Structures are given as structure tokens and as C-alpha cells.
Amino acid sequence: MKFFNVGAMRPATDGARLSAANDLVQRTLARHGLVPQAGNAIQQKMPVLPSLNSMLDQFAGATGNADAVDITIPEDAQFRRDTFTCPAGSRTYRTYIPASSAMGVTGVVMMLHGCTQTPEDFATGTGMNILAEQHRFIVVYPAQSRGGNAQSCWNWFSRGDQRRGKGEPSILAGIASSVAKEHGVLRDKTFVAGLSAGAAMAVILGETYDDVFAAVGAHSGLPTGAAKDVASAFSAMAGAALDPAPQPEPAVSTRTIVFHGTADATVHPSNGAAIARRAAGLNARQSIETECNGTAAGRRFTRIISSDLQGKPIVEHWAIEGQGHAWSGGQASGSYTDAKGPDASAEMIRFFYNSTEKDL
């Protein structure tokens, strides 16, 4: 057990990592004809974002048959398709209403897919609908539009999509609020989770709409403010994120659980640690940290729990040894999953409901 001042901790950045990040950005930009002429800034040579977004395939790659995923649901369950519209824009979304909800709805979980994925693909890979049947919660799967991003990435790297009342955060929080209201679910039982770009957006939602979401699950994502545009997004993915704006005084009460593979070659594992560190600092000035190690489904992991001075867990950080850019303990029928390792979906639900392993 270790007692420390969260606010005093800063991520370490070494020259080798910065050099690697710069090389990655330059190679990627050059491949797309974006290397500036002498005296010109990169921004002056950039085409419109839709063509640049093809670079963000590194988040999830091409899934190929993702659109063709067929979801089989139990009798009396529903997998609805709806559209939400607000001043910031509109998005379609799928809502899974388990048959077990007839006995009472226990909560709402919003799931944000990664680049090139679809709600159906993400539902299949994470197995979240199965857990919904077991625990009687509603699952909401927003779909990024091709108009919003050519590769269906959530625009976590855009300044306009990192703020309350603007862009995608406004739309997504509106969807969650609408579904929660429909089913009579309050803020303390409304949660959001995501993979990769979806995880980065989930973290943004946790900070900008902590009045809507009680807890966040981030798998293979990045911290809020890690990038401000496409070029800095690649730098952040390589492990050289921008220095975010100074954290406000602890005022955000959104608990956070983080999963990240130590062999993730798409989003550097340092980003997972940065999410956990920032979440702990936003929740409490000081915290108590405990660490344990274990093995699940053939992969070793390190689990660090940060609790406030009253002993309430506010952050969990899981580092999965040897795992790449994939959902830990996921279903092989979905894209970007790894059947080995802790069941990230089950652990997120346990954490969201502030339950013990025995409770679930």
C-alpha cells in the first residue's frame, strides 16, 4: 500500500519516445503527401479531414465484414435502432433491452466502438449484451457516421469535440440522457465505456459530463487533451501526448477503470497510465494505492487500485502482459478482441456497480 500526492505526479517523457513519435508522424504524413515545402507549416498543406482520417485505421484497421454482423437476441429482448438529434448534430444508435429487464432495469451502459467498427460488431466482440441479460441493464451503442469521420472514428483528437456543449460529447451525452430518462435510470447508474478512439471519447465524456455518467471504462484509449489535431493524434498514439491543460481542483466524481495491453503497438501503454493518473487527480487530491498481480485466461496482469482517503475505489488500472490492441477477454466473433486475459466487460460492470467479485 502506498500513500501519495496525486497532484505531484507527472508522466515521464524521454528523448527516444519523442523521437519515435516524430518519426511516425513524419512517415505517415509523407505517405499521404503532407510533408510541407520549405518554410510552410504542415497545416498549410493539409487536405480536408476525410482523406486524412484514413490514417486513423491504425486504431482498429479494416474490419471487412463488420457491417454484416448478425446479432441473435433472446426471445422478448429488443435491439432497437434510433436516431438522436440536437443542436450539435445527430447520430444513429442501437439500444439493447434485455428480456430480463421485465424484472426491472438496473442501469444504462453506453458503449463506444473503435474506428471502422459498428455497433453490431462491438456488441458481438465485447459480449456486453450477455452481461446485460444477467444484470438487467440497458446497453446503448452509438454509431459514428461516415459524415462525421470517414473511418467511423470518434473525433477525440479534435478540440471542438473535447468540450461540454459542443460536438460529439454533446450528442453522446444527449443520447445517454435520453435513454436513461426513458427507463427511469439516474446518474449513479449511468456509465460509458469504449475501445481505442471510443475509449478516448468515453474519457472525455467522463470529464465533461460527470453529471450524466457515474463511471467510465477505457480500453486501449488516450487521456483527455492528448491531441489537438490529426498530426498530434499520431504523436500521442506513439506515446508522446501533448501536455494537457492544468487539471482543475478535484471536482469530477466520475470513477474510472482502465485496461491496456503492454504490447499495444497502436496506442502506447503509457496512455492508459495517463488516463488512470489524471482520473485519480480529478477525483481526489490524495489517494491510497494498492497493487496486485494475477493471471486470467493465460495472461498475467497488474491491477492498481486508487482509493480516496475514505477507502472508496475511484480508479482501477489493469495492465495486461503481452496483449496488443484488442478487447481483453473478448469474443472471437467480433473484431479486435483477445480471448486471453481478464474479461474486461465483466470487470467493467463489476466496477461500475461498485460490486465485489462475489456480488457478480
pLDDT tens for the chain, 360 residues long, are 322 222 222 233 344 444 444 454 444 434 333 333 333 332 322 223 333 343 344 443 333 333 446 678 899 999 999 999 999 999 999 999 999 999 999 999 999 999 999 999 999 999 999 999 999 999 999 999 989 999 999 999 999 999 999 999 999 999 999 999 999 999 999 999 999 999 999 999 999 999 999 999 999 999 999 999 999 999 999 998 887 666 655 567 899 999 999 999 999 999 999 999 999 988 887 889 999 999 999 999 999 999 988 899 999 999 999 999 999 999 999 999 999 999 999 999 999 998 644 444
CATH code of the domain occupying 75-285+320-352: 3.40.50.1820
Q: Identify whether the C-beta of residue 132 lies closer than 8 Å to the C-beta of residue 138.
A: yes
Q: Identify whether the C-beta of residue 94 lies closer than 8 Å to the C-beta of residue 79.
A: yes
Amino acid, res. 191: F
**Distance set, CA 132 to CA 95, 126, 215, 345, 353 (Å):** 11, 11, 17, 10, 13
109: exposed, middle or buried (C-beta count within 10 Å: 0-12, 13-18, 19+)? buried
pLDDT of the residue at 286:
85
pLDDT of the residue at 266:
97
pLDDT of the residue at 247:
62
Pick the closest to residue 95 from 79, 119, 115, 71 (CA basis): 79
Pick the closest to residue 58 from 83, 97, 94, 32 (CA basis): 32
Residue 245's contacts (CB-CB under 8 Å, 6 or more residues apart) are 225
Q: Annotate 34-67 with b (16+ C-beta within 10 A) or e (fewer).
A: beeeeeeeeeeebeeeeebbebbebbbbebeebe
Residue 157 — φ and ψ, nearest 5°? -90, 0
pLDDT of the residue at 39:
31
Q: In whole angstroms, give the CA distance from residue 55 to residue 51.
A: 8
Q: Identify whether the C-beta of residue 82 lies closer than 8 Å to the C-beta of residue 95.
A: yes
Residue 342's contacts (CB-CB under 8 Å, 6 or more residues apart) are 259, 296, 297, 299, 301, 318, 320, 328, 329
Contacts 24+ apart (CB under 8 A), 235-238: 235/21, 235/22, 235/24, 235/25, 236/21, 236/157, 236/271, 237/24, 237/58, 237/59, 237/266, 237/267, 237/268, 237/271, 238/17, 238/20, 238/21, 238/24, 238/25, 238/268
pLDDT tens across 288-302, in order? 999 999 999 999 999
pLDDT of the residue at 69:
62
Q: In whole angstroms, give the CA distance from residue 60 to residue 10.
A: 29
3-state secondary structure of 45: helix
Instruction: Return the domain boundaries, the chain.
Output: 75-285+320-352
- Give the relative orientation of helices 197-208 and 270-283 as an angle to the nearest 10 degrees: 10
Q: In whole angstroms, give the CA distance from residue 135 to residue 1.
A: 32
Q: Identify whether the C-beta of residue 179 lies closer than 8 Å to the C-beta of residue 107.
A: no
Residue 48's contacts (CB-CB under 8 Å, 6 or more residues apart) are none
pLDDT of the residue at 52:
35
Q: Roughly how many angstroms between the first and final C-alpha of the chain, as a whole number?
A: 26
pLDDT of the residue at 355:
64
Which residues are 78's β-sheet partners?
Answer: 97
C-alpha atoms less than 13 angstroms from C-alpha of 337 in its C-beta half-sphere: 22
